[in-house]
């Protein structure tokens, strides 16, 4: 591919890529500079970016949902680029990409060595991690992959709050969190290569807005998979219906028959959580459901999930959810139809799912 005068941005796609990410990025980026003048003055302007979809071999393929992708070029034919975006590369939350996408990984290393800016969206960050390009660096990815990063890529400092992580920008690496974070990344790329004026115009054309609150408000508690430690499973099952009780960790420890130190060690080994962190996460998840669909006062929500001190509840909720309870309610309650919202009522513990059966190991 001959390098034109205008910046070149490559979108790396694989069969595991979401069409919304691939074609969302393509549609927004390739129209930069052209659409805003057309909508405001009736005359299209010049396209400011050269955007190309690339794949391992340039053969047409179907991505997620069976949507056809016809790449513009094979990665082996690429000589240079200003930026490469690794679109999301869906994989189950408990599986690394070890041994997969070997050609793409080697190419990404080469492009980075030649000076290209490398970017990723959602699970595409896993590909950069597998390439070793994120070792010792902070990164963003979808919140559901936090445990996979901790286990398979421990040298990567995954930021659970970040939607667009720019801390590795001096090293020419930028990572974006969940699928719709491609919008934040698109505006960043436009501002970087075309200027803030065109980024603002593009945002107006496509009604794009950043996720300024981060991704914590959208994150859900990771449900630890079933474990062979039957004692801990029994405690989790009990806690699912008793998270609002007083002294919950002490109660679980007593039920386990273990010493506090041994219980804490086995609980974290089985679930990935310290016992009190697990209780707090359960309580916040229940509080989220109540704030989304019920009309109880926030102090009543606090009491219902086990907090006698509303101020303590607000501190824990803000730390876990990234928003105050009131702000969380304003953001998400509008998504629940009025007819489905419950009137003020006391919740019944137990809506939190108990862990699955005891036989499988994590």
Domains of the chain, residue spans: 8-218, 230-340
282: Cβ contacts below 8 Å, ≥ 6 apart: 221, 239, 240, 243, 352
pLDDT at 65: 94
Alpha carbons 3 and 24: distance in angstroms, whole number: 23
Q: For the chain, give the number of residues.
A: 362
pLDDT for residue 337: 66
Strand partners, 83: 9, 117
Nearest Cα residue to 158 out of 148, 146, 169, 170: 146
Residue-wise pLDDT tens digits, 258-279: 999 999 999 998 888 899 999 9
Calpha distance 34→28 (Å, rounded): 10
Q: How far is CA 171 from each of CA 1, 129, 130, 209, 257, rounded to the nearest angstrom?
A: 25, 14, 17, 26, 51
Which residue reads 């059966």 in tokens? 357
Task: Using alpha carbons, list the distances in angstroms from residue 47 to 191, 194, 307.
Answer: 14, 10, 56
From 137, 166, 135, 140, select the one nearest 153 (Cα to Cα). Answer: 135
**Residue ranges of the chain with pLDDT lower than 70?**
1-4, 223-226, 336-362
Q: What is the pTM of this model?
A: 0.82
- Reported in sequence order, the residue ranges of the chain that DSSP labels E, i.e. its strands, are 8-12, 50-55, 61-62, 68-69, 73-74, 83-86, 117-121, 138-139, 157-158, 164-165, 173-176
Q: What pLDDT is attached to residue 195?
A: 96
Residue linked to tokens 């959810």:
321
Place of tokens 């859900």: 220
pLDDT value of position 353: 47
Instruction: Kindly provide the b/e burial profile for residues 163-173, where b requires at least 16 CB atoms within 10 angstroms of the residue's own CB.
Output: bbbebbeeebb
Can you say whether residue 101 is alpha, beta or left, with left for phi > 0 and alpha for psi between -120 and 50 degrees?
left
Q: Which tens digits make up the pLDDT trace of 170-214?
A: 999 999 998 899 999 999 999 999 999 999 999 999 999 878 888
282-312 as b/e, with b when 16 or more CB fall inside 10 Å?
bbbbbbbebbbbbebebebbbbbbbbeebee
Distance CA 354, CA 240 (A): 5
In three-state secondary structure terms, 13 is: coil
Cβ pair 219, 146 in contact under 8 A: no
Q: Does domain 8-218 have CATH number 2.60.40.420?
A: no
Burial environment of residue 240 by CB neighbours within 10 A (0 to 12, 13 to 18, 19 or more):
middle
Give yes or no for a contact between 326 and 332, defined as CB atoms under 8 angstroms apart.
no
- Beta-carbon contacts of 264 under 8 Å, excluding residues fewer than 6 positions away, are 274, 275
230-340 is a CATH 1.10.3720.10 domain: no
């Amino acid at each position: 591919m001959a390098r034109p005068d205008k910046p070149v941005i490559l979108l790396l796609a694989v069969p595991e890529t979401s069409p919304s990410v691939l074609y969302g990025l393509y549609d927004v980026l390739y129209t930069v500079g052209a659409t805003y003048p057309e909508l405001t003055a009736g005359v299209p302007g010049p396209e400011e970016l050269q955007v190309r979809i690339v794949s391992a071999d340039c053969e047409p393929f179907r991505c997620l949902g069976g949507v056809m992708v016809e790449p513009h070029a094979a990665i082996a034919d690429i000589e240079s680029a200003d930026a490469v975006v690794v679109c999301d590369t869906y994989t189950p939350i408990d599986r690394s990409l070890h041994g997969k996408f070997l050609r793409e990984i080697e190419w990404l290393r080469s492009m980075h060595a030649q000076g290209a800016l490398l970017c990723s969206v959602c699970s595409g960050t896993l590909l950069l991690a597998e390439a070793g390009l994120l070792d010792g660096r902070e990164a963003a990815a979808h919140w559901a992959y936090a445990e996979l990063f901790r286990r398979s890529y421990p040298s990567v400092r995954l930021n659970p709050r970040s939607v667009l992580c720019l801390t590795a920008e001096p090293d020419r690496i930028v990572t974006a969190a969940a699928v719709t974070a491609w919008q934040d990344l698109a505006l960043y790329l436009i501002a970087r290569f075309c200027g803030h004026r065109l980024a603002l115009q593009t945002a107006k054309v496509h009604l794009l807005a950043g996720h300024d609150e981060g991704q914590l408000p959208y994150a859900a508690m990771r449900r630890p998979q079933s474990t062979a430690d039957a004692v801990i499973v029994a405690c989790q099952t009990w806690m699912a219906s008793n998270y609002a009780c007083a002294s919950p960790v002490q109660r679980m420890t007593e039920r386990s028959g273990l010493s506090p130190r041994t219980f804490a060690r086995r609980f974290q080994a089985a679930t990935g959580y310290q016992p009190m962190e697990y209780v707090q996460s359960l309580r916040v998840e229940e509080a989220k459901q109540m704030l989304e669909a019920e009309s109880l006062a926030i102090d009543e929500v606090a009491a219902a999930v086990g907090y006698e001190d509303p101020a303590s509840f607000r501190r824990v909720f803000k730390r876990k959810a990234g928003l105050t309870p009131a702000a969380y309610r304003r953001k998400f309650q509008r998504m629940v139809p009025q007819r489905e919202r419950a009137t003020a009522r006391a919740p019944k513990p137990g809506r939190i799912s108990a862990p699955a059966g005891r036989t499988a190991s994590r």
